[in-house]
Amino acid sequence: MAPGEKKSQQPRKRFYRARAHSNPLSDSHFPVPISPAHIDWSLHFPAFFKSPLEAESEKIDLMHKESTSDLEVNDKEFSRDCCSEECVSKDPSLNHEADFMENVSVKNPSEVANVQRGQPKVSFADIGCGFGGLLVKLSPMFPDTLMVGMELRDKVSEYVKDRIMALRKENPGQYQNISIIRTNAMKYLQNYFQKGQLQKMFFLFPDPHFKERNHRRRVISVALLAEYAHVMAVGGILYTITDVQDLGEWMKACLDAHPLFEEVSSQEQELDPVVTLLKRATEEGQKVERNSGDTFQSVYRRVASSSAGC
Amino acid sequence: MKGKCQVDVKYPSAQSRHEEAIRTITFSGEGKLFVSAGDDKHVKLWDTETWQCTKTVHASKKVSATAFSCDSKWLLYADKFGVVYAMSTKLQGEGLASSVVLDQPVNLLAHCCSIITSLKCTADGKFIVTADRDFKIRVSVFPKDPLQGAHEIEGFCLGHTSFVSCIACIDVGLKSQLLVSGGGDGTVRLWEIETATLLDTVDVRDEVGIADGNFESDAVIQASAITCVCVSCDGSLIAVGVESLDGVLFLKCDLKSKRLMLLQKLVLAEHFCPTSMQFDKNGWLWLVAGAAQKTDSCKENAVTWVKVVSSSLDDTPVFTPVELESIPGGSLLFETLDGTDSDVNKAFALAEAATIAMKNELSKRQYSNEHREFRKRLRNDKKLQRKV
């Protein structure tokens, strides 16, 4: 590691200062994929996926297809995966450091699907992952499981991305299974994950939105639980923890009211290695512990619907 | 299904009248019930035999879409914050339930803070389909007991690249129900509801090209939002209203191959951009264009146009406008419907303003980076940044 090589060093939080709260109801100006099929996961997990271009250049010797711009997408809403052709000629390791935060929608979803079929899909999602503490702890625990953090704040998600890059460089072969997406999970979760895809979802120390008029901004609500239940597989587990008692009771009440979620018994919770991480893995959790605060956790399982169907 | 005879709507008392713009109206499947709702946050249920307003619900937000369940037992309405409510259509005295249960709407489902542009129930009673301005169409399972909420999602129809403005179900007793949607991206898409798969897409922007042939210009891209779609009774024809088209586009829907094909572009009259259309049982298409004026007086003072289009009875039908005389009720009907002011240009200007207002509501506002920073200038953390 050459001296002064900034990318290999762990990022310093002071350079990523951001306000603590970001309005989840405001209109986004960051790009959002048209559908889960339009995502090229090789940009996030190069060790697990071949990009469609790598696969093609393996099959056909350096024959570049002329890409036609018949994309029916309004440019202003979504950014194009415009640099993938140019990137092939560059150093492949740099290719994947290409900003996967910007290029979110591929032009050729069926091609991507052909190449990436049969590969594992993302199965853990940390909603509001903050500075990435949980992802970093979970990665070595489940090395073959792909996990993604979703964070709304731009600076914080940049920090997580730089952190993951640095960890991958410093620990060859490790941390290849975690990645970060800058997005509004409340609005766009369905654009990233297919029905029944996730095995675990994490909501650690979500924003309490104390005022009653702001309760609709809370990330756990009965209405949104329908969306979370949709992207979770039956038997998948949803973890939430908070240090705010009112919010803890609210989340438990929402989960109890929703027919597709069932509480996981405390015996089962004790046996789950992930539960022990809830309190201490994240920066927020460590802060609560430093201040000797109480925490309120709810762990629920996604159950099958009683009517015919999922 | 529009009624063919002219009827006076009775307002038994002053309270029954809508005070502000009516945004949505729907007939129930059998035609026995009618609902109207809009900016005054009142949802009114009407009996179509007597044309009396049987129920009025006071919604908390402006209502943007309404629908009836397939058995007409439930009235669904959606507001601009993405919440869909359900209410029983039963009247007091028809059952043992108390009036509290009958007249209290319950939360059914919600899109996360996104204007719901259209709400439909499939004819087989299995699903509720909702479309919003965040490019999504959600298919939810119609619950056994709507009072408990609709918690189960069947799928999401994702593919539109701009707000979804209108949807229509094709229900002709098919094994798998189909859905047609139109969006601000100028495309009409055909979906299979149960699997939420995209079957076909038609881009109408080529059809609505401006004379100078410059298809890349912003004007063409922006002025091609689909305003309305409707399906003929046999499910084989789809009529599409496009923002800047002075007429209507017809698409043929091949139910076997599940594809859409452009059939005909019918230009009707200058400045006639339909905002709403519906097929009647005879296969005629009724179109309405124009905009209602806001008025304090009790008289109807709408500046609207109505036209009717019929098709030849071929395998590939050709559409032609219907003359006034052929329509039952004829000119008298149109005089009443058209209102007093028949100034074409005024109607057009009003309609344009209304369409632009709707698009502004539904489209995401795009700010340049500099403008976005400018808008944040009063934020505390930005002030601190500048001090440092």
pLDDT, tens only, B39-72: 889 899 988 888 888 888 899 999 999 999 999 9
**Closest partner CB to A226 (pick from B136, B153, B365):** B153
Query: The whole model's pTM is what?
Result: 0.83
Quick check: B364 pLDDT over 50? yes
The pLDDT, as a whole number, for residue B13 is 41
Quick check: B209 pLDDT over 80? no
From the CA of A195, how many Å to the nearest CA of chain B? Answer: 7
With a pLDDT cut of 90, the percent of chain B lying above it is: 27
Q: Are A87 and A95 in contact (CB under 8 A)?
A: yes
Q: Position of tokens 């009653």?
A: A212
B-chain residues near A226 (CB < 8 A)? 109, 140, 150-153
Highest mean pLDDT among A29-43, A133-147, B255-269: A133-147
Per the model's pLDDT, the better-predicted residue between B345 and B244 turns out to be B244
Quick check: A192 pLDDT over 80? yes
Quick check: B219 pLDDT over 60? no
With a pLDDT cut of 70, the percent of chain B lying above it is: 75
The pLDDT, as a whole number, for residue B371 is 86
Inter-chain CB proximity A226 and B152 less than 8 Å: yes
Quick check: A129 pLDDT over 60? yes
In degrees rounded to 5, what are phi and psi of residue A130?
60, -130
| Least confident residue range of A89-98, A291-300, B356-365 | A89-98
- CA-CA-CA-CA torsion for B357, B38, B165, B229, nearest 10 degrees? -120
| Residue B33 to residue B46: CA distance in whole angstroms | 6
- CA-nearest residue of chain A to B218? A74
Using the 8-state DSSP alphabet, how is residue A29 labeled? -
- CA-nearest residue of chain A to B150? A226
The pLDDT, as a whole number, for residue B154 is 94
Where residue B335 falls among pLDDT bands split at 50, 70, 90?
low
| Least confident residue range of A11-25, B114-128, B149-163 | A11-25
Taking residue A111's Cβ as centre, other Cβ atoms within 10 Å add up to 16
| Least confident residue range of A272-276, B120-124, B164-168, B369-373 | B369-373
Q: Are B231 and B180 in contact (CB under 8 A)?
A: yes
B-chain residues near A191 (CB < 8 A)? 158
Where residue B236 falls among pLDDT bands split at 50, 70, 90?
confident
Mean pLDDT of B286-309: 57
A-chain residues near B381 (CB < 8 A)? 18-19
Inter-chain CB proximity B153 and A309 less than 8 Å: no
Mean pLDDT of B21-34: 83
In degrees rounded to 5, what are phi and psi of residue A87?
-65, -25
**Closest partner CB to B151 (pick from A19, A187, A259):** A259
The pLDDT, as a whole number, for residue B380 is 76
Q: Position of tokens 């900016």?
A: B39
Using the 8-state DSSP alphabet, how is residue B298 labeled? S
With a pLDDT cut of 90, the percent of chain A lying above it is: 52
Q: Where are the beta strands (DSSP E) in A174-295?
A: 178-182, 198-204, 232-242, 261-263
| Residue A257 to residue A124: CA distance in whole angstroms | 24
| Sign for the pseudo-dihedral over CA of B368, B373, B377, B381 | positive
Quick check: A124 pLDDT over 60? yes
Secondary structure (3-state) at B199: strand
In degrees rounded to 5, what are phi and psi of residue A50?
-90, 140
Mean pLDDT of B289-309: 54
Where residue B7 falls among pLDDT bands split at 50, 70, 90?
very low
Residue among B67, B69, B146, B72 nearest B104 (CA) = B146
The pLDDT, as a whole number, for residue B212 is 38
Per the model's pLDDT, the better-predicted residue between A39 and B215 turns out to be A39
A-chain residues near B202 (CB < 8 A)? none
**Closest partner CB to A34 (pick from B110, B114, B159):** B159
Question: Which residues pair with residue B55 across a beta bridge?
Answer: B45
**Closest partner CB to A191 (pick from B152, B158, B365):** B158
Inter-chain CB proximity A226 and B140 less than 8 Å: yes
From the CA of B375, how many Å to the nearest CA of chain A? Answer: 13
Residue among B263, B170, B293, B181 nearest B229 (CA) = B181
Highest mean pLDDT among A65-79, A130-144, A280-294: A130-144
* Mean pLDDT over each residue of chain A, to the nearest integer: 80
**Closest partner CB to B109 (pick from A29, A74, A226):** A226
**Closest partner CB to A307 (pick from B109, B141, B155):** B141
Q: Render the burial of B334-365: b for 16+ CB within 10 Å, e for the rest.
A: eeebbbeeeeeeebbebbeeebeebbeebbbe
Where residue B84 falls among pLDDT bands split at 50, 70, 90?
very high
Taking residue B383's Cβ as centre, other Cβ atoms within 10 Å add up to 12
Inter-chain CB proximity A309 and B83 less than 8 Å: no
The pLDDT, as a whole number, for residue A220 is 95
Inter-chain CB proximity A226 and B151 less than 8 Å: yes
| Least confident residue range of A37-46, A244-253, B121-130, B297-306 | B297-306
Highest mean pLDDT among A111-115, B147-151, B268-272, B361-365: B147-151
Q: Position of tokens 């006639």?
A: B272
The pLDDT, as a whole number, for residue B372 is 82
B-chain residues near A209 (CB < 8 A)? none
Quick check: B130 pLDDT over 80? yes
Per the model's pLDDT, the better-predicted residue between A114 and A199 turns out to be A199
From the CA of A227, how many Å to the nearest CA of chain B? Answer: 7
Quick check: B375 pLDDT over 90? no
Residues A100-118 have pLDDT tens digits of 666 667 767 776 776 666 7
| Residue A202 to residue A220: CA distance in whole angstroms | 11
Taking 3-state DSSP, the helix, strand and coil percentages for chain B, each rounded to the nearest 5, stand at 15, 40, 45
Q: Are A90 and A83 in contact (CB under 8 A)?
A: no
A178-182 and A146-151 beta bridge pairing: parallel
Inter-chain CB proximity A260 and B159 less than 8 Å: no
From the CA of B17, how many Å to the nearest CA of chain A? Answer: 31
Mean pLDDT of A190-214: 94
Q: Name residues whose C-beta falls within 8 Å of residue A294's C-beta, 6 or more positions apart in sequence.
A: A243, A245
Is A91 considered catalytic here?
no
The pLDDT, as a whole number, for residue A87 is 31
In degrees rounded to 5, what are phi and psi of residue A215?
-60, -30
The pLDDT, as a whole number, for residue B281 is 78
| Least confident residue range of A181-195, B16-30, B311-325 | B311-325
Question: Which residues of A make up each annotated binding site for S-adenosyl-L-methionine?
Answer: 128, 151-152, 184-185, 204, 282-284
The pLDDT, as a whole number, for residue A56 is 67
Mean pLDDT of A155-182: 93
From the CA of B343, how many Å to the nearest CA of chain A? Answer: 36
The pLDDT, as a whole number, for residue A82 is 33
The pLDDT, as a whole number, for residue A31 is 86
Q: Are A271 and A299 in contact (CB under 8 A)?
A: no
Highest mean pLDDT among A282-286, B67-71, B102-106, B322-326: B67-71
User: Could you tell me the two tokens for B380?
Assistant: 């505390």
User: Could you tell me the two tokens for A282?
Assistant: 């994240």
**Is residue A261 classed exposed, middle or buried when 0-12, 13-18 and 19+ CB atoms within 10 A define those classes?**
buried
Quick check: A64 pLDDT over 50? no
Using the 8-state DSSP alphabet, how is residue A14 labeled? G
* Mean pLDDT over each residue of chain B, to the nearest integer: 78
Q: Render the burial of B244-254: b for 16+ CB within 10 Å, e for the rest.
A: bbbbbbbbbbe
From the CA of B381, how many Å to the nearest CA of chain A? Answer: 7
Residue among A47, A43, A31 nearest A182 (CA) = A31
In degrees rounded to 5, what are phi and psi of residue A160?
-65, -40
Mean pLDDT of A140-145: 94
Per the model's pLDDT, the better-predicted residue between B379 and A8 turns out to be B379
Quick check: B317 pLDDT over 70? no
B-chain residues near A190 (CB < 8 A)? 136, 156, 158
Residues A220-276 have pLDDT tens digits of 999 999 999 999 999 999 999 999 999 999 999 999 999 999 999 999 999 999 998
- Could you say which of A40, A81, A126, A207 is catalytic? A207
With a pLDDT cut of 70, the percent of chain A lying above it is: 76
Where residue B97 falls among pLDDT bands split at 50, 70, 90?
low
Mean pLDDT of A159-175: 94
Residues of chain B contacting A, Cβ within 8 Å: 81, 83, 107, 109-110, 112-114, 134-136, 140-141, 144, 148-156, 158-159, 161-162, 185, 187, 201, 203, 221, 364-367, 372, 379-381
Per the model's pLDDT, the better-predicted residue between B338 and A175 turns out to be A175
Q: Are A73 and B161 in contact (CB under 8 A)?
A: yes
| Residue B233 to residue B334: CA distance in whole angstroms | 24
Q: Which of A14, A25, A27 to mutate to test the interface with B (most CBs of B within 10 A)?
A: A27
Residues B151-208 have pLDDT tens digits of 999 999 999 999 999 999 997 776 778 999 999 999 999 999 999 999 999 998 877 6
Per the model's pLDDT, the better-predicted residue between B379 and B322 turns out to be B379
Inter-chain CB proximity A74 and B221 less than 8 Å: yes
Per the model's pLDDT, the better-predicted residue between A249 and B258 turns out to be A249
Distances in Å between the Cα of B95 and the Cα atoms of B46, B90, B91, B102, B143 are 19, 8, 8, 10, 21
Q: Which of B153, B371, B383 to mutate to test the interface with A (most CBs of A within 10 A)?
A: B153
| Least confident residue range of A28-32, A249-253, B54-58, B122-126 | A28-32
The pLDDT, as a whole number, for residue A310 is 44
Inter-chain CB proximity A226 and B366 less than 8 Å: no
Mean pLDDT of B59-87: 92
From the CA of A215, how many Å to the nearest CA of chain B? Answer: 12
Identity of the residue numbered B153: I
Q: Are A19 and B381 in contact (CB under 8 A)?
A: yes
Q: Position of tokens 């570049």?
A: A64
Mean pLDDT of B231-240: 88
| Residue A224 to residue A240: CA distance in whole angstroms | 14
| Residue B319 to residue B234: CA distance in whole angstroms | 16
Identity of the residue numbered B189: R
Quick check: B96 pLDDT over 60? no
Identity of the residue numbered A3: P
A-chain residues near B366 (CB < 8 A)? 29, 76
